[in-house]
Structure 1
Amino acid sequence: MPFGLPAHPPRWGNLALADLRTQPMTIVPPAACSGEKSGAGEGLALSISSALGALAGLASWLIAARLLPQADVGLAAAVVSAFILIAGITQLNLGLGLIRWLPVAGCHASPLVWRSLLLIMPLSAVVGLGYVVFVPDLARTAAGADGPLPLGMCLFALASAGWGVFIVHDYILVAIGKPWWTVWRNGLFAVVRITLLLVLGTAFGAQGVVLSWVGPIVVWIAVGSLVLLVVVRRFARRSPGSGVMPSRSEVVGFLGPTATAQVGYTLLLNQVPLVVILRFGPEAGAAFFIAWQATIVLETAANYYMHPLSARWAREPGRGAELTSSSRRSILKIFLPLLTLGAVLAGPGLSIFGPGYAAAADILRLLLLGLAFRLLVVHELGVRTAAGHGMAYARLHIASTLLVLVVALVVPASPDPDPNGVGADLLPVALGYVVVQVACAAHVVLVRLRERARRGGAQTGTTSTAAP
């Protein structure tokens, strides 16, 4: 059984493996976690944490650009991007799984957490080692100019393993009712990492940038794991009853499709700007990259805002329809004004980077317009995760990802791109992104309307059958 489960663990329902979905748990919510106190605050805490991470990342690369030659910055960025990509893939989406299962795990909370972390860490390390075997330049950068190659390989593997569980710690804290700990944890991590960058970057160049990541990651995981050991045990002791553990079918049915979709999403964040750079030239591609990153920061915050819905749904499965409606109102109320503000400030904001970037202001506005429609898709992905509809989640996620990639690949590129015509050259890509998001949002709305009509018809039929 997964995670070392007993032969006949408590189940949430009779689930066929071929159905590839899990069901919400019908159980009395733990007293320590019930109520509205842990509602919108959980999503807000995760959104703030993700925003802190994004801003710290931007600040750190701006500092690195001031301290180091451009070539060193590129080498360091390649190492950091590579281990973050590996960690994102090898997390297997266990973060969302834990935020769904922990609230009702009871006395099983500690083994559920530790078996999950002990699965992610060695997997990330092994994949990381395999990666640097095929791309040894990453290990050379991590080891420094005169350092041995095995040292660089070990540093890369440590970073991959540590980052693989770094984000999962946030989900665990939310699931056990400590959402605001994630804000302090990520904020302090950012301060320490930037401070180390100022010291190590000056002394060791590209290797110093890598060390400014690896050092805090290792320390944060070691200390954070000890803290989790205490708080998870306390959470388990406060939980009433023996709790419920997920079965093999539920683990496979949830993680299989959702982890696949998450891999696609991780690739989307990196491949779209890369394709644009290769097809439209470095000048236009650089401007698009900055506009794309601004859009991705807001989308990531919206995704994080939806994650705690899984925990609330697990605690109160009977309120699924109500939670769906209230979370939709909340995400639109919070993020639509932010998108509007971003569109207004697109020109002045990009002009900080230079006139070449300011030419992409209309591109950024179109991307933000597309993201306004995509909020409905982000919300639907969160609902499908919370309801345990793993395959439906994967279909929507992968379809929306592939469509955007197709747009970036097939939109005609000018055979002689004009460096000063960034906006005109890339407008078709941005317009294609908007069209894809409008289509996906329309699909989501139609699916919801059909489900509502089906439920209404079922209720009418029940009433007619019961009538004298």
Structure 2
Amino acid sequence: MFNGSTNPRTLEKALSLAPAADLTVRLLVPAAVVESRLRRRMELEPPAERIFEADLNVNMRSFAVFEAMHDLLTTSGREIISVEYTDGPSTFKSICRIERQILSALSRFDRAVGEKQIELPSHRADVTTGSATTPPRNKDMGSRLAWASIFALLIYIGGAGLTSLAQLAIARLIGPHNYGIYSYVQAWTSVLAYLATLGFNVSLLRFLPAYRASGRLDLARGVIRFALQRSLIAATLFGMIGAASVLFLSDPTERGLETSIVLGMMAVPLVTAYALGATLVRAFGGVVSALLPERIMRDGLLLVLVALLALSGFRTVDAPSVTLAVLVSSAFTAALVFIIARRFEPPGLGHAKPSYASREWWLAVPPLMLITGLDVFVSRAGVLVLGWTSHIAEAGIFALALNVAMLVGLSRIAVATMFSPTAADLYVRGDRRGLQQLFARATLLSAGGAILVAVPMMVIVEPFLSYFGEGYSAGAPIARVLILGYVFVALCGPQQNLLTMTGNEWAAATTMIAGAVANIIACAAGVAVYGLLGAAVGVALALSIWSIAMAVYIRKRLKIMPGLVFALLSIRPSAVDARQWHWFLRASK
């Protein structure tokens, strides 16, 4: 009705999928009356509500759709009562007619129940209560999706709160130098772990639903086994190479750094495991359950372990002991994720004999591996550059400022979680107009959430960082610069997800490589010239260049405008004139 692509065949298919009603009532209202009411309603609407309102022509075109539905229902033999809205008496007569029809239907239903009671006297109690005759109601899919989105966002917020609390405790306990070691090690652990997923934390979300829909549980089990085996082997190799490099190449005087890196490399396979396990849970339909272990349990358990270390006095709380706590919490998280995945596993999957499409799966590895690994690398490039150049204490200050700034990107991550599957569906169906509108909506949500977080954070960031201990307040200007960088990324919307879900993995990977290179160069130059603030400017600049490059490619390749540009160009002075589509509903020009 809204995108103009409705046809009788589509309507017929949709009506065939809907349960047949016992009685269908059609209310006939003259078009002039409807148009007058619509105009009056739209004139009285506040400007904010007009943004979400379809224009007059779109609403009036629904008359033809309802007429087509009436013809289809009549042809299929459905009983339809038409009620004409002309004057009071005629409307009252129609209501009385509907009442008689309903009473007649109820009497037929009561007789049927009575006959069933006579035939099955032993089930009298069940019949009289209606439990045996009342069909179960289908769940409202829209409501489920809305609640899933809300819960996902709440988990992201709760996880961010726990992460911030854990980082606060760690930073206060171990000081800038040890926190710099810890942050540097965690940056390398994350980069290597997500590279080791070989991109299966993304591709499994595409392969598994497709195989389940086609009934190929053998391929579904095969790709799960294939992904887990290859990824865990890669993670183990990465961890061993990283640990060996430290033992042979590091400075013997930095024992704390050596020990922390070795422990961090031991955690690489565990991080890879719970990343893939969470992907399996999402692919099996447990979107919210997939977020709980990584977002809540991991940092929650880390916080508990660090608190126990501090209270027990068993040993000094330093970078190696905190990294050991990360190792333990990662192990528990990985175990929990696979327990949840087992619970959500589709029936019959565990007994299916695995089949393999290795060539297809390997083809998806290079671009997605680069995307996932470089995504983490880009966000941690400043910490890595400072660690490489032996600015360990500065790396700790920068890492804390970065963690604060990344709160701004929380809305984009939450929006992208729900944006990706819908975008993939629209692209497969060739609905370019719908994809443009969805991307614009996602961009506005992402930008709005980022700005709501960024504005107060810019004000309170200095006193907030001072709570972490002496020396950390110097990170306030760094955090402000990084916040601006992440706001710009949010203003561009979930571009990386759009590229990935539309089959442009290599384009996303190429832009990620360019962004990573620009990030390293900008950070190194910034550190050399302006120190910590220069590193922050370099990261923010690289993020902006990366976002602009993706926007240009998306515009040229997919013919999709940047979300905010599309929204601004679509706003017209009056929604009542009905000359333009609302930007949610109309195609780009």
Q: Tell me if both proteins adopt one fold, taking TM over 0.5 as the criterion.
A: yes
Unpaired runs of at least 5, structure 1 = 1-31, 453-468
Counterpart of 2:241 (choices 103, 109, 130) is: 130
1:370 matched to 2:488? The reply is yes
CA distance in 2, matches of 1:283, 1:210: 17
CA distance in 1, matches of 2:307, 2:250: 22
1:151-186 per-position Cα deviation (integer Å, ceiling 9, x unaligned): 995x65552111112122222222111111134333
Counterpart of 1:88 (choices 168, 172, 194) is: 194
Secondary structure, counterpart of 2:241 in structure 1: helix
Instruction: Assess if the C-alpha contact under 8 Å between 2:240 and 2:265 holds in 1.
Output: yes
Match in the other structure for 1:402: 517
Change (3 A) 1:229 1:368: closer
Secondary structure, counterpart of 2:275 in structure 1: helix
Secondary structure, counterpart of 1:105 in structure 2: helix
Match in the other structure for 1:232: 345
CA distance in 2, matches of 1:203, 1:357: 32
Change (3 A) 1:428 1:212: closer
CA distance in 2, matches of 1:362, 1:251: 42
Change (3 A) 1:342 1:300: closer
CA distance in 1, matches of 2:544, 2:298: 39
Change (3 A) 1:337 1:234: same
CA distance in 2, matches of 1:36, 1:319: 22
How far the C-alpha of 1:94 sits from its partner, in A, is 0.6
Instruction: Assess if the C-alpha contact under 8 Å between 1:103 and 1:314 holds in 2.
Output: no
How far the C-alpha of 1:128 sits from its partner, in A, is 0.7
The code of the aligned residue for 1:333 comes to: L
Instruction: Assess if the C-alpha contact under 8 Å between 1:404 and 1:436 holds in 2.
Output: no
Match in the other structure for 1:358: 476
Instruction: Assess if the C-alpha contact under 8 Å between 2:281 and 2:290 holds in 1.
Output: yes
Change (3 A) 1:392 1:278: closer
Give the structure-2-normalised TM-score: 0.57
1:348 matched to 2:460? The reply is yes
Compare the two structures and name the one with the higher helix fraction. Answer: 1
Between structure 1 and structure 2, the one with the greater Rg is 2
CA distance in 2, matches of 1:45, 1:104: 26
Match in the other structure for 2:328: 215
How far the C-alpha of 1:98 sits from its partner, in A, is 0.8
The code of the aligned residue for 1:168 comes to: L
The code of the aligned residue for 1:195 comes to: V
Instruction: Assess if the C-alpha contact under 8 Å between 1:366 and 1:430 holds in 2.
Output: no
Change (3 A) 1:371 1:232: same
The code of the aligned residue for 1:214 comes to: L
Instruction: Assess if the C-alpha contact under 8 Å between 2:193 and 2:271 holds in 1.
Output: yes
Match in the other structure for 2:103: none
Match in the other structure for 1:324: 435
Match in the other structure for 1:102: 208
1:168 matched to 2:276? The reply is yes
Instruction: Pick 1 or 2: higher relative contact order, CA cutoff 8 A, min separation 6.
Output: 1
Match in the other structure for 1:260: 370
Match in the other structure for 2:382: 272
How far the C-alpha of 1:96 sits from its partner, in A, is 0.5
Deviation larger for 435-444 or 214-223: 435-444
Change (3 A) 1:360 1:39: same
The code of the aligned residue for 2:167 comes to: W
The code of the aligned residue for 1:122 comes to: I
CA distance in 2, matches of 1:361, 1:168: 31
CA distance in 2, matches of 1:427, 1:140: 27
Instruction: Assess if the C-alpha contact under 8 Å between 1:42 and 1:305 holds in 2.
Output: no
1:411-454 per-position Cα deviation (integer Å, ceiling 9, x unaligned): 6964xx5x9xx87x6796477347525632651453267479xx
1:62-111 per-position Cα deviation (integer Å, ceiling 9, x unaligned): 21233345554444444443332321211111111111111122223344
Give the structure-1-normalised TM-score: 0.69
Instruction: Assess if the C-alpha contact under 8 Å between 2:495 and 2:550 holds in 1.
Output: no
Secondary structure, counterpart of 2:500 in structure 1: helix
Change (3 A) 1:286 1:374: farther
CA distance in 1, matches of 2:396, 2:363: 40
Identity score, percent? 14
Unpaired runs of at least 5, structure 2 = 1-137, 467-472, 562-589
RMSD: 4.4
Change (3 A) 1:309 1:332: closer
How far the C-alpha of 1:391 sits from its partner, in A, is 1.6
Secondary structure, counterpart of 1:180 in structure 2: helix
1:182-229 per-position Cα deviation (integer Å, ceiling 9, x unaligned): 343332333222111111354333343233222232233234323323
